[in-house]
Amino acid sequence: MNDLRKAAVDRKVVAVRVDLNVPTDDRGRITDDTRIVAALPTINHLRRSGAKVLLISHFGRPKGRPDPSMSLEPVARALEGYLDDPVAFAGDCIGPAVEETVANIDYGEVALLENVRFHPGETGNAPDFARALAEPAEKFVNDAFGAAHRSHASVVGLARLLPSYAGFLLASEIAALERVLNNPERPLAALVGGAKISSKIGVLRNLVERVDMLLLGGGMANTFLAANGLDMQASLVESSHLNDASEIQRRARESGCEIVLPTDGVMASGLAAGAETVVVAVDQVPEGWTMLDIGPATERLFHDRLRLARTIVWNGPMGMFEDRRFARGTERIARGVAASGAYSMIGGGDSVAAVKLLGIESEFDHISTGGGASLEMLEGKTLPGIAALG
């Protein structure tokens, strides 16, 4: 990939694909600015280097037509505070609105274009739409790791039409994942949670060939426990994937990867606020009860393994952490990873949310901005947005 630091961008119009698909509350206020902050180094570098910076992003899922509730204009206003400068806003991402905006900003200034997904050509990677996006620009920078697994016009199409570069965020994400997958300091431990095994089968198959330890929590662990003959009662178990769980465990044994499963858990009689909870061994789940978090014995077991690791990659919570009754496992493991002394990388929105809730994000070496993209790289896939950069 071309080095952005060596790019001649002075007095050039540079289109920059960023990921400003930030969460907002019911009043449109941004509730998590991680992606905005992550985009600032590339934006500021281009400003200082004398470029006209045209930011391109999606926001929500407007299904290929304009939707005022998914306009990026409020994000433009918020971005002004981070840049301490005005940010022009174009009412469209192609055509006269963009031409006028480019003419009205000076070199070293920034404009944000309207939601690129207001056009059906974006997700369809339509050649004519990609050409329209490229028309006002002379160079292209992809800094949207969170969209790099999408074969969309603003991700792939633009890279094929203009001299292209990886932004600093994208480059750092690639470097972190390559460090974990291709050149880790061992032992390498992967900590994988979340609700379902079905969304991470490919990831797990790839990881057991690469890691020394695979620690499993969250709802997906139930399917592995059930595959090993345990009665998980009313716990989430994907019965159609029991064979996959068995196959992954077989692959792990053959490759010398230790799979570590929960030994106890927090069980609940239901999900209602007044439901009873109890901590018991995983082979003693009360009839009709549900396992919703790992238990203290599992926390200790996982901590013991994590203390041995020199590199840790974590994706997915250990339980239904959004409910405070079942958040302890995720919180304790987060603190354990932070205190391990290992190189640590976190991917996935729920894991990142848990770390932010605890206020310990600075204690991790790398926090990924792309859940789906990082999962696909962990699965061993080449991301279209990265491949298009050459």
Is residue 196 annotated as a catalytic residue, yes or no?
A: yes
User: Whose structure tokens read 């792309």?
Assistant: 370
In this structure, are strands 366-367 and 277-281 parallel, antiparallel, or unpaired?
Answer: unpaired
Note whether 314 and 323 are within 8 A (CB): no
The whole-angstrom separation of Cα 286 and Cα 265 is 11
Phi, psi angles (nearest 5°) of residue 9: -115, 0
81 in catalytic set: no
Q: What are phi and psi of 260, to 5 degrees?
A: -115, 120
d(CA 88, CA 73): 9
238-254 burial by CB neighbour count: b if 16+ within 10 A, else e? beebbebbebbbebbee
What Å distances lie between residue 12 and 9, 85, 137, 272, 318, CA to CA? Answer: 5, 19, 8, 58, 48
Which residue out of 77, 196, 310, 381 is catalytically annotated?
Answer: 196
CB atoms closer than 10 angstroms to residue 208? 23
DSSP SS3 for 291: strand
Degrees (nearest 5) of the Cα angle 101, 104, 106? 115
* Token duo for residue 171: 């480059």
Cβ neighbours around 292 below 10 Å, total: 25
Q: Which of 50, 91, 108, 372 is catalytic?
A: 372
Which residues, at least 6 apart from 105, have a Cβ–Cβ distance to it below 8 Å?
A: 52, 88, 111
Buried b (16+ CB within 10 A) or exposed e, 5-17: eebebeebbbbbb
Q: In sequence order, what are the beta bridge partners of 2?
A: none
> Catalytic pick from 12, 35, 47, 150?
35
- Establish whether 372 is a catalytic residue: yes
The active-site residue, picked from 217, 295, 336, 349, is 349
Other beta carbons less than 10 A from residue 79's beta carbon: 25
The residue count for the chain: 390
Active-site positions read 35, 196, 349, 372
